[in-house]
Amino acid sequence: GQQLNQSPQSMFIQEGEDVSMNCTSSSIFNTWLWYKQDPGEGPVLLIALYKAGELTSNGRLTAQFGITRKDSFLNISASIPSDVGIYFCAGPPDTGFQGAQKLVFGQGTRLTINP
């Protein structure tokens, strides 16, 4: 089945630094979603991307939908302590199925920030 590979698996940065992480797939995705998960909580949607080449921002977060439709990246500028958590990329596989489409998740990037 379609899989998403995230890199890096973990990041240790200083507060105030910029962060960049990415997500790749061997097959095409028509939607890319970025979620953040805090300990003991569910994934919270950060950014949704629907069009190849699309660049979307949400505050200090910026994400892009790759032209090939096989990758996406998420950038966080000027990191702050509350950015700590696990960031997941996700998307519905391109099966032609319409309706309640399942999401495939990457394995996550764990972000740790040193104050």
Partner 1 sequence: EPEVTQTPSHQVTQMGQEVILRCVPISNHLYFYWYRQILGQKVEFLVSFYNNEISEKSEIFDDQFSVERPDGSNFTLKIRSTKLEDSAMYFCASSDPRGINQPQHFGDGTRLSIL
Instruction: State both tokens at 46.
Output: 């950060």
- Residue 25: closest CA among 102, 105, 109: 105
Per residue in 54-65, is it b (16+ CB within 10 Å) or e — as a string? eebeeeebbbbb
d(CA 21, CA 79): 13
Query: How many residues form the binding site for partner 1 (CB under 8 A)?
Result: 27
Quick one: which of 10, 15, 17, 45 contacts partner 1 (CB under 8 A)? 45
97 binds partner 1 (CB under 8 A): yes
88 binds partner 1 (CB under 8 A): yes
Taking CB under 8 A as the binding criterion, the range among 19-27, 59-67, 69-77, 84-92 that sits at the site for partner 1 is 84-92
Taking CB under 8 A as the binding criterion, the range among 13-21, 60-68, 72-80, 104-112 that sits at the site for partner 1 is 104-112
